[in-house]
Structure 1
């Protein structure tokens, strides 16, 4: 099967991708890296996290041979699902998850990323986010349309970052069941423990791209005016996601 690990940016995407990969391996599939190498998918899946950009028909076609051979082709993406990907998910050829986060915390994390990019002299797309207001407007313009497209996709499991922080085993049980994996609670607990953010150090933690890995940052780090702006920009969407605006 083709497995899409979609994510709103700054929502623990690499952390979830890594646990999903471990779950697939525990159920007898090859690792995502092995599949990429075996089927020479480097031109489609890039980085250690098998990232796929916008899933065009030609890119998805490259994944079909591995799928036909019974492999689990795991891909991570921050892009909204294409019409072709939605079609594959509708017929069950592809299965997917999408993890999202309170947009106010997403905005703060994006702003922090921009600060690090400027300090390091990197030309990252977030480097121009210099204020909370900039980051809130950026999130409203880019991330909401993508969330809306993901949330309307048939056959998709929607996940919240906040649950991954406090109930990772329950979240991974949902993922395993959605993907049809035959894993008991003990196997999932071992996977969660292996990627426990509180125990990871140094390069391993950096590879999961974890910043502060907390929820509700906006309550302490935004002014009343900034929280009001967030409500004006995407209060309705926050409530649809399950958050208090």
Structure 2
């Protein structure tokens, strides 16, 4: 069994979609921007209910968490069965063992790209995406048992708190390389950040191609495409997926008491990654 999965990992609303759309444009190397609604073809999600049904070869119930976990190893083996050198797979799962099942097993993993974002900004985007109040979102992303519940489209995603998630992917020994990128650094110097991704994947780095892919995956371009054709990954609870794409929105949009709660809950990890003095 080939170790070909490169995990595109992040807590929700941290820049995973932006990264995948960049890669869609870099790989296409076309003269026009790739459609945002084709990005899912670049990095297959690891929680797509249809995939679990395919390997089960029987009717399944996504709400049966134990059954979905039993099927997960088969789903991942199915992904690597194409014998490709690299299979990009998007995940919001923490790198943990859930009910005895390793969610990110070493035997199928080549490497990982982990994107994290200032949780003070992430929580605002999280609230919009999931149709929550900021207060509800602060509580949710700080809870150790936070998970995305199953539905007809996706099986349960085990995330835990933001701090737990970040720790799971960025600390401890690993049998494979993990490239850690901050969303804020992607904004400040996209050429350096995305250039690291290209190098991590072992692709040739072409400056013109890199510049064009960055331009074609700019927030202005993504927002314009969503306005024109919609975006299949937008949740029903939110008005739009690509809202602002900026940093430090929390300074004006997040209530002081919620800022205090977030800092209290996530201080150690925020400080480690440069989000607190």
TM-score by length of 2: 0.66
What's the counterpart of residue 250 of structure 2? Answer: 218
1:102 maps onto 2:118 in alignment? yes
Q: Could you list the runs of 5+ residues in structure 1 that have no partner in the other structure?
A: 47-52, 116-128
Instruction: Kindly tell me the number of residue pairs found equivalent between the two proteins.
Output: 212
What's the counterpart of residue 136 of structure 1? Answer: 138
- 1:49-64 counterparts in 2 under 5 A? 56-64=72-80
1:197 to 219, 222, 225: 219
What's the counterpart of residue 10 of structure 2? Answer: 7
Deviation readout 1:59-85 (Å, 9 max, x if unpaired): 22112222x2x3532211111135363
Aligned-residue CA RMSD (Å): 3.1
Tell me: CA distance 1:238–1:34, structure 2 relative to 1, closer, same or farther (3 Å).
closer
Instruction: Judge conservation of contact 1:32–1:73 (CA < 8 Å) in 2.
Output: no
Deviation at 1:5, TM superposition (A): 0.8
Tell me: CA distance 1:45–1:145, structure 2 relative to 1, closer, same or farther (3 Å).
farther
Tell me: CA distance 1:35–1:198, structure 2 relative to 1, closer, same or farther (3 Å).
closer
Tell me: CA distance 1:222–1:79, structure 2 relative to 1, closer, same or farther (3 Å).
same
Counterparts of 2:194 and 2:214 in 1: how far apart (Å)? 8
What's the counterpart of residue 17 of structure 1? Answer: 20
Instruction: Judge conservation of contact 1:3–1:75 (CA < 8 Å) in 2.
Output: yes
* Misfit runs of 4+, over 6 Å: none
Deviation at 1:173, TM superposition (A): 0.4
Deviation at 1:114, TM superposition (A): 3.4
Counterparts of 1:45 and 1:171 in 2: how far apart (Å)? 37
TM-score by length of 1: 0.74
Tell me: CA distance 1:143–1:231, structure 2 relative to 1, closer, same or farther (3 Å).
closer
What's the counterpart of residue 236 of structure 1? Answer: 268
Q: Secondary structure at the match of 1:99?
A: strand
2:185 to 163, 187, 204: 163
Tell me: CA distance 1:157–1:148, structure 2 relative to 1, closer, same or farther (3 Å).
same
- Mean CA deviation greater in 197-206 or 132-141: 197-206
Q: Secondary structure at the match of 1:107?
A: helix
Q: Could you list the runs of 5+ residues in structure 2 that have no partner in the other structure?
A: 30-38, 55-67, 97-101, 144-160, 234-240
Q: Secondary structure at the match of 2:8?
A: strand
Instruction: Determine which structure has the larger helix proportion and give its number.
Output: 1
Deviation at 1:35, TM superposition (A): 9.5
Tell me: CA distance 1:34–1:78, structure 2 relative to 1, closer, same or farther (3 Å).
closer
